[in-house]
Each structure stands twice: as structure tokens, then as C-alpha cells.
Structure 1
Amino acid sequence: MGVLLRELELEGWRSHSGVGRLLGMLQGWQEKSWLWRWVPAMGGWLVGLVLVLAPFMPSGMIGMLLMAGAGLWLLWTLAGERQGRWSPIHLLVLSYWGIALLATVLSPVPRAAVVGLGKLSLYVLFFALAERVMRDERWRSRLLTVYLLTALGVSVEAIRQWLFGAEPLATWTDPESALANVTRVYSFLGNPNLLAGYLLPSVPLSAAAIAVWRGTLPRVLAVVMLGMNTASLILTFSRGGWLGLATATIVGVGLLGFWYLPQLPYRWRRWGVPLLLGLLVATLVGSVVSVPALRERAGSIFAARGDSSNNFRINVWMGVQQMIQARPWLGIGPGNVAFNQIYPLYQVNVRFTALSAYSIFLELLVEVGVIGFGVFLWLLLLVGDRAWQCLGQLRARNNPQGFWLMATVATMAGMLTHGLVDTIWFRPEVATLWWLMVAIVVSFVPQQENAAS
């Protein structure tokens, strides 16, 4: 069996497994209940409410919505999962959760790790519910529209802050820097780095909406969204956000080149995409170099310990490296509560504590060890493989849904790049979007799998 698990057959396991037999155990209720026909719509509304409220509401309220969604998914699964489909990606997500459970049991601070496991469980169930809802192409487009409209409202507030000023809620810029007095917008999220992470998916998805939406006014709205969201992300002056945006843009343009490759003249098929990517990179670099504030902020990325933010992160990474070496296989258990209890034992600079590892990859190694991190990388590999299979088939049919898929892949690449130097990925405003992107990819089905089901 290959590492991509393309030949893995889960339906046979379900029919012979004791756990598998539980799926569909409420099928009798489904056949008699008037409520059943509303379950898919209720799932869509719950996912939509999470997307609408995430940037505005406290984490506790978002958690309550996620719990409601988890309960609905459980009911949906027990009553009608025999009509559904499972994929190797579901298996990898479940495996990752299982490793996190084992890491919690063996954690040096198990009570703290239980809190993190609870949050992870809600995100995983949100993925499961969103994927189930978005198997319907109409719900996929509706939910992406809901997110884009919400992100536009967030961007409007960010632009207002840039124009009229905003009181910094924390010291986000080196006070000795030339940018010490520059406004870093944060909109309703209270943190410019978090805002950048939240808005990052909206840029590729807005660009995709230009191609997917029909009619002049919807496309004009998509263009406005693209401009507003891009400008707001840039004005956060989040260096990690900028790196994520650059990566998402390059990946997105590369995928667009792949999409239109068969339509290009033969002599352009070899050099057209590399030339376009080269032009894009030159434009990005030129834009940064030509604007002093952007040039100063981007240059600080390479200042190493010469920038206070860089210096702080380097110190955190040194302490985190010792944490990983102390518990390499299964880590300390999931969640920031466990991290906050263990990190002080290893921190390099005793004057400054840290709330996280400031890198999602290091954070995963700390929380679930090498084993969990390996499963996460395997999950990314399977998601990429599924996206590539489906994209080729959508291109062959000239299905505009392929633009949503390309935007999703570009978004995931951008979020992972941003995550190299920050851990806002674990905040509910961004974590729900990450799992939504995974759900979008899984909601597309390769033709051979679709025929089999």
C-alpha cells in the first residue's frame, strides 16, 4: 500500500468493524423524524455562524458554537453516515487526534493537556461537520461567501483604523525602530498578527470569487474584496503575514498557470509559467523596496537579534528546542495551558515568558512529539495529493469550482508559511479557517472514488 493510501478501502472496515456498525445506528429515527431533513441545513448554518462570529466574539462563545456543531455531527453520523464517505484523510485526522490523546495521558501536566485536547477535539469535529456540509457544492459556495463578506467587514474597520489612527493595545513594534510610530491595524481582533492570519485566506478566495461568481456586480464586489483584504493585510505590518501572502500569491499564480496551460500556445507552455512567476516576484520585491515603511519592516526580517521581536523569538526557539529534546516522542500534550506550565523550566531569558513556541512546527513537536508531527506531515501530503487529483479532473471538465480549490491550496501554503514564525494558527479565529480549508479539499472527490461510492 502506497504512502498516499490511494488504494485504502475504508468501507470494508466499516462493514466488519464494531465501531463501524455503530454508524447509522439511528437510521430508524432518521426515517421517522421530520427533523432529519433539516439536519444538513442546520449543519450549514452552524458552520456559517462560526465563520461570521469568530472575529467578533470571545473564544468561549465560539467554543459553545463548536460544541453545538460537534453534537449535530454526531447525530448526523449515527443517523445517516452509511450514506456518506470516508477518506484516508479522515483516517489521518483521527490518527493525529489519537496521538494527541495518548500524549495527554502521558503528559507531565495531564490536567492542563486535557484543556488543549478538548480544543483540538472541537476543531477536528468542526472539520468533520464542515466537510460533510460542503459535499454539496452549493453549500461550499455559500460558506465561502459568508467568510468573504465577514472578512470584508473586518477589513473595512482595519482601513478605518489606518486612516484615523488606532491605539496600540500592546508593544508590537521595536520601540527603537524607525517604524515605532507607524499604525499597525488590528480591526476587531485586537492583534495585527492575528488579523493578518485571519485575512490571509480571504485574498486567494477573493481572487477565486472573481472567476467563480457570475454577473457584473458580484465580480465587482469580489474585486473590491480582493483590494480591501490585501491592503488590510499589508497594513498589519505583520512580517509573518507578508511572507504568507507572498507564498499564497506565488502558489496561486503557479496553479493558475497549470489551469490555463492547455489553452496556451505550444511555445508558451514551457516558459509561460516560469516567466509569469518571475514577473510576480519582481513586482513584489519592487513594491516593497519602493515604499520606505514596507522596506524598513521587511528588512527587519533579516536583522536576526538586531530586532527585539526577532531576538525574543530566537530565545523562545532555543528554550523550545530543549523541551523537544526532553520529551521527543509524544511531547508534553496539546494546548497552550500545558505549554505555559512547562516552558518556564526551559526558558532562556527569565525576564520574558512566552505563550507559545512562535512556530507551529515547533509547537507541534512540543505538543505531540516526533510521532504526532510525522502524522501531521503525512496528513499534509495526503491533502496535497487529493487536491492535485481533483484539480486535474476539474480542469479537464473546465469546472469553475476548481478556482475555489486552487485558492484553498494557496491559502494553506500561505498559512503554513506564516506559521513558521508565529502560532496565531492555534487561535480559534484562525484555527477554524485552517480546518475549513482542509474540509474544502476533502469535500472534493476524485472521479474514481466518486464512482466507487
Structure 2
Amino acid sequence: MNLVWQRFTLSSVPLKEYLDTSYLHRLMVGILHPWRQTSILMQWGDTIAAALLSLIYALAPFVSSTLLGLLLVACVGFWVLLTLSDETSLINAASVTPIHLVVLLYWSIAVIATALSPVKKAALNDLVTLTLYLLLFALCARVLRISRLRSWLITLYLHVSLIVSVYGIRQWFFGAKALATWVDPESSLAKTTRVYSYLGNPNLLAGYLLPAVVLSLIAIFAWRGWIRKALALTMFVANTASLVLTFSRGGWIGLVVGLLAAMALLVYWWSVEMPTFWRTWSLPIIVGGLIGVLVLAVIFVEPVRVRVVSIFADRQDSSNNFRRNVWDAVFEMIGDRPIIGIGPGHNSFNKVYPLYQRPRYTALSAYSIFLEIAVETGFMGLACFLWLVIVTLNTAFMQMRRFLESRSAEGLWLIGAIATLLGMLAHGTVDTVWYRPEVNTLWWLMVALVASYWTPLTRQRNQPNLQPTAY
């Protein structure tokens, strides 16, 4: 059974042997290596790549999608240059992981969906966008393998998210003009401020801050020194408060899932050092405490109570009713093209959805990433995406156990990545802010963070334990 699971999750795939015998790998990788050896600028290739990534994650909340697209193009172009001029032995070391293989398969399915799309021109434009995101993952996975660059990018994102959160909290105290109809005018929340900070949309802000909440929680334990820990605690409180004040129900669901996953994994991480009582009861106490806080908030805070109750109001809530009508149309779209879908991207969706939409229920997306993927690339694409999630989480758990044996604090960041991915998937079940560049770039950063720690299974067995790291 273990062997079957290893094959399903590609844990035992001999990637090094495959790369050694791949003609495409020999033809493409390293053909510019002689030039790179004489180039002074390319000696700093990974640092330059990190600088380009830093621009994306530093500017994402503040600039237009067009500028982010140009930065993505620059990152992809530089990744191509790095790959063509790379040293073959470095690629064989571990730069290609099982996650890369499933990402490549997902892209291949998207290409087929584009070729068979009823709106090929629109699908082709969005295939280019999808390709940029997937190659962003490849560049991030490469750069994050370097410890100091990994630490820099995580720290940069957390500092930027703190700025975003503080401005969101300021909007709560001083008010903010609603830029769209986010609340039913007849609801008791019609006059309640929903913060959106620099992102212009409370649901989008919630999606952007969700990784920051989890990573800042992990930073409390991973960063050394009381000053840094105090900063991490400040980030956690500010990020959590700002996310809660978005009053995004999907964001709240993602927050609960992310925090519960992080706490459960942290208890597992320290369980070997805990007394028997705390090893048995720490997780129930934490979960019970979190549930208690939620219950008290629902009872005593009216805006929270109204938003939580509306989750279960079905069609009686205008937002729920809108999604239900959109989903009904989406199910029909999936039923007509169940295998390969209509082609990737919101442009394809916008071309086809009007043929199925209910009167007065226009939509730019399926309001669920799982339904959106099924619409765009059919059940083939959805199955591949779910496989990608399983392979990524399995890789993270495997490497986390490796760090657990050596008590290296690097394993804490894998806990953060796992919890963030689960939280983002929970949020994405009822919303599609996941597709916005501010959020999508963070998703692929988390997937790349997991991939950056990957060690081949055969090498892992023979590798000596790392030196314990204090934290």
C-alpha cells in the first residue's frame, strides 16, 4: 500500500535518472552555460531573480494588474535565461520535483482545452496568463532553495502585508466608501464598513491577507530574538484583525481552516517534547478555545452574527442566492463540455457564460475555484489540479517529518505553507479571488515554498540528519 501511495504521489519517481537520459533536457538546459561563465552579471543570477520576485510581492497590492503582468513577463524571461545557461548538475540536484511534473501536466491539459475551445482566441489569451503564473512558480521554486533568499521573500511579504493591514484597520476607524455593492442594502449590515485597504475589494483583501495571518503566526515561533517575535506577533494581530474586518465570509472560512491546520501541525511538531497530558489534550483545548471565541463573537457582536448566520440562509441571503443562480448555470456549462472544458481563463468564461446565465445574474467567474477549473479544463483539469494539491501536501508532509527528526526550524515554514494552502482552498471553494494576481502569485509562492524543500526519496534515506536549529 505504501508503494502504491509513493507512486501515486510521485515520491519515488527517479527524476535524476530521467533528466540524465532526456534528450530535451540535454538540448535545452545548459546550452548558454559557457556564456554565463564569462558574464559578470549572470554570476548573480539567482539574486537578480529574487529582486524581480521582490518587485512582484512588494508592489502587488498597490499597482495595476497590467504592471504586474509586465513584471511576470520579466520574471519568466529571466527564468528562461537562467535555465538555458544553467549548469546541468545543478538541475539534476533537485530543481525539478514531482510538483513540477504535475504542474507541467496541468499546463498540457490547459493547452488541449485551448485547442478544443469554442472560443479559441479568448482561451489563447488566457493560456498565456496561466503560463506566466506557472513559470512564476518555477522561478520561485528555484530561488527559494537558497535559504537567505527564501527568508528575504517571506519577510518582505509579511512587512508589505502589515502595511496593507494597518491601512485596512484605519479604514475601520475612520470609514471607507464602498466601491461596489458588497452588502445587501436591506441587510442590517448595509451601513457596516467592510475594509478593503489598497486592494479595492474586501473579499480580495481577505484572500491576500490569509497567507500573511498563517505565516506571521509561524514567524512567532520561527524567528529568533524577542524583538523579531514581538514584530511577528504584531503582524499576526494586525493581519487577523484586518481580515476579520473585511466581513468576507469566504475569508473567515479560510481563516478558520488555516488557523486550525496550523495549530494542529504545531501541536504535532512539539508533541514529542510534551508531557503526556498536553500531548493528549493540547489540540482539543486549542480547538475548543477557538470555537469558544467564535461562539462568543457570534453571540455578542451583531455584525459577526449577521454574517455567520447568512452563510446558512441559503437563497434568503442575496449573495447566496446570486451564487446559487450562477452555479446552476455553471453546472449546465460543465454538463455540455465535461471532459476538457471551454478553455482556460475568465475571457473564455465571459464569452460562453451568457449563453447559460439566468436573467439578471451576470458573472465574471464561477464563484468557486473548483467549479471554475471544471468549466475551463473539464474533469481532466479538475482531476489534475486535485492531484497537484495531493502531491504538494504529501511532499510537504514528507519534508516536514525530515526536519522534525533533526528539530530544524525550517520545518515550521512547511507547516505554514500547508496551512496556507488549505486555507486558500477553503476560501476558494466559495469565491474566485484566487484568480486575481495579488492572490494567485501567493498561491504559487506557497507551492514553490514546498517544492524548494524537496529532497529525492533515495537521497533522503542516505542523508545525515541536519544540525538542530534553535528557535
**TM-score, normalised on structure 1?**
0.97
Q: 1:269: Cα distance to partner?
A: 2.8
- Matching residue of 2:425: 416
Q: 1:272: Cα distance to partner?
A: 3.2
**CA–CA distance in structure 1, aligned partners of residues 459 and 194 of structure 2:** 47
**Counterpart contact for 1:13–1:20, Cα < 8 Å:** no
**CA–CA distance in structure 2, aligned partners of residues 44 and 285 of structure 1:** 43
**CA–CA distance in structure 1, aligned partners of residues 397 and 47 of structure 2:** 29
- Matching residue of 2:32: 26
**CA–CA distance in structure 1, aligned partners of residues 409 and 191 of structure 2:** 45
Q: 1:275: Cα distance to partner?
A: 3.6
Moved more, 7-16 or 238-247: 7-16
- Matching residue of 1:384: 393
**CA–CA distance in structure 2, aligned partners of residues 29 and 187 of structure 1:** 46
SS of residue in 1 equivalent to 2:403: helix
Q: What's the Cα RMSD here?
A: 1.4
SS of residue in 1 equivalent to 2:85: helix
121, 124, 130: which is aligned to 1:114?
Answer: 124
**CA–CA distance in structure 1, aligned partners of residues 431 and 8 of structure 2:** 30
427, 447, 459: which is aligned to 1:438?
Answer: 447
379, 382, 391: which is aligned to 1:373?
Answer: 382
Q: 1:212: Cα distance to partner?
A: 1.7
Q: 1:88: Cα distance to partner?
A: 1.2
Q: 1:79: Cα distance to partner?
A: 1.1
43, 47, 52: which is aligned to 2:49?
Answer: 43
**CA–CA distance in structure 1, aligned partners of residues 253 and 439 of structure 2:** 16
Number of matched pairs: 452
Q: 1:450: Cα distance to partner?
A: 4.9
- Matching residue of 2:67: 61
Q: 1:445: Cα distance to partner?
A: 2.3
Residues 1:88 and 1:299: Cα distance change in structure 2 (over 3 Å) = same
- Please list, as runs of the form range in 1=range in 2, the aligned pairs for 1:69-108 lying within 5 A after superposition: 69-80=75-86, 82=88, 83-84=90-91, 85=94, 86-108=96-118
- Matching residue of 1:184: 194
**CA–CA distance in structure 2, aligned partners of residues 122 and 449 of structure 1:** 32
SS of residue in 2 equivalent to 1:80: coil
Q: 1:289: Cα distance to partner?
A: 2.7
Q: 1:81: Cα distance to partner?
A: 5.3
- Matching residue of 1:144: 154
Moved more, 80-89 or 174-183: 80-89
Which one-letter code corresponds to 2:450 in the other structure? V
Which segments of 5 or more consecutive residues in structure 1 lack a partner in the other structure?
Answer: none
1:380-399 Cα offsets, whole Å, 9 max, x none, are 11111111111111112111
11, 18, 25: which is aligned to 1:13?
Answer: 18
**CA–CA distance in structure 2, aligned partners of residues 352 and 153 of structure 1:** 36
Residues 1:450 and 1:266: Cα distance change in structure 2 (over 3 Å) = same
- Please list, as runs of the form range in 1=range in 2, the aligned pairs for 1:258-277 lying within 5 A after superposition: 258-277=268-287
Between the aligned residues of both structures, percent identity stands at 50
**TM-score, normalised on structure 2?**
0.93
**CA–CA distance in structure 2, aligned partners of residues 449 and 54 of structure 1:** 39
**Counterpart contact for 1:66–1:126, Cα < 8 Å:** yes
Q: 1:449: Cα distance to partner?
A: 5.3
**Counterpart contact for 1:389–1:446, Cα < 8 Å:** no
**CA–CA distance in structure 2, aligned partners of residues 211 and 320 of structure 1:** 43
Moved more, 15-24 or 319-328: 15-24
**CA–CA distance in structure 2, aligned partners of residues 156 and 266 of structure 1:** 41
153, 158, 164: which is aligned to 1:154?
Answer: 164
- Matching residue of 2:262: 252
Moved more, 264-273 or 233-242: 264-273
**CA–CA distance in structure 1, aligned partners of residues 119 and 190 of structure 2:** 39
Q: 1:217: Cα distance to partner?
A: 1.9
The answer to whether the aligner puts 1:3 opposite 2:8 as a matched pair is yes
**CA–CA distance in structure 1, aligned partners of residues 197 and 459 of structure 2:** 42
SS of residue in 2 equivalent to 1:201: helix
- Matching residue of 2:468: none
Moved more, 443-452 or 176-185: 443-452
SS of residue in 2 equivalent to 1:200: helix
Which segments of 5 or more consecutive residues in structure 2 lack a partner in the other structure?
Answer: 464-471
SS of residue in 2 equivalent to 1:232: helix
1:324-357 Cα offsets, whole Å, 9 max, x none, are 0000011001000000000010112x22310000
Moved more, 280-289 or 54-63: 280-289
1:417-440 Cα offsets, whole Å, 9 max, x none, are 000110000000000000000000
- Matching residue of 1:233: 243
**CA–CA distance in structure 2, aligned partners of residues 131 and 249 of structure 1:** 25
Q: 1:267: Cα distance to partner?
A: 4.2
